[in-house]
Structure 1
């Protein structure tokens, strides 16, 4: 995984450069789900140690994850989401909801993301205007720098 290009003016391209790798996104997903130690991630993901080590190192360099001493006082270190990493939650939810809508057959078993307090699924994520109206893809345009 490489760091995003500083000369890239498109925020989507920079974001994909930072977290667009399959393993990076699954690491972030698992961090939201409570994984913290190298072994936790490896068991959950089944990824090769060298790939996992590289992705974790990059996510730390990007300040998406941070290393801290283990909560149990052992010699291990744990990976925790930083504020920047926690800001990826809407992206994880949007990817999940897109996958639920388009990649599963009706009635097919799948995991479900629910709100802890109520046990209810989260509402669909939709882009909105500043005053709360839903925006369809054709109703938005990208303004390029210098134009």
Structure 2
């Protein structure tokens, strides 16, 4: 099998982000961590992923600073996975993917899980990007300023 190209040093922030959380298991682990899961067994039960794959993903997320290992909160000898500030920074990404899925991947009236505000019990409002003037920001109102291509880059 061909080795996957590393995006770790890519000039694109999205490419670098995908290097860390671009596979389905990593983002689902992060989703579950936001839902309060902390132990290997909880992640394994929720995801149904092979233990070796889960172990690899958890180790990688710890290595990359998305999760941290901490002593178990119940005082047992276990360790728990907790979101770091870097991991918590993925919350808008997780919510955005959830809301995109709700809008485009379910038939009208098809049941699905719902993200609710803890205090009110009401659905989390749809994420909206706003321009500097407060107006909705659409793709056609943005562009990416790319870095110049240098000789020998590839």
TM interval, short-chain normalised:
over 0.9
Aligned ranges 1:103-118 → 2 under 5 Å = 103-118=105-120
Distance in 2 separating the partners of 1:128 and 1:3: 34
Distance in 1 separating the partners of 2:32 and 2:132: 32
SS of residue paired to 2:16: helix
Q: Which runs of 5+ in 1 are unaligned?
A: none
Give CA-to-partner distance per residue, 1:31-73, whole Å, 9 cap, x none: 0001100001001100100000000000001100000000111
1:66/1:4 CA distance change after superposition, 3 Å: farther
| Partner of residue 63, structure 2 | 61
Q: TM-score, normalised by structure 1?
A: 0.94
Greater relative CO (CA pairs within 8 A, separation 6+):
1
1:35 aligns with 2:37: yes
| Partner of residue 152, structure 2 | none
What is the aligned residue count? 146
Aligned ranges 1:6-17 → 2 under 5 Å = 6-17=8-19
Distance in 2 separating the partners of 1:122 and 1:47: 28
Which deviates more from structure 2 when the two are superposed, residues 4-13 or residues 86-95? 4-13
- The answer as to whether partners of 1:4 and 1:15 remain within 8 angstroms in 2 is no
Q: Which runs of 5+ in 2 are unaligned?
A: 150-154
Q: TM-score, normalised by structure 2?
A: 0.90
- The answer as to whether partners of 1:5 and 1:17 remain within 8 angstroms in 2 is yes
Q: Alpha carbon RMSD of aligned pairs, Å?
A: 1.6
| Partner of residue 140, structure 1 | 142
- The answer as to whether partners of 2:7 and 2:19 remain within 8 angstroms in 1 is yes
Equivalent residue for 1:76, pick from 75, 78, 86: 78
C-alpha deviation, 1:130, in angstroms: 2.9
1:94 aligns with 2:90: no
- The answer as to whether partners of 1:65 and 1:85 remain within 8 angstroms in 2 is yes
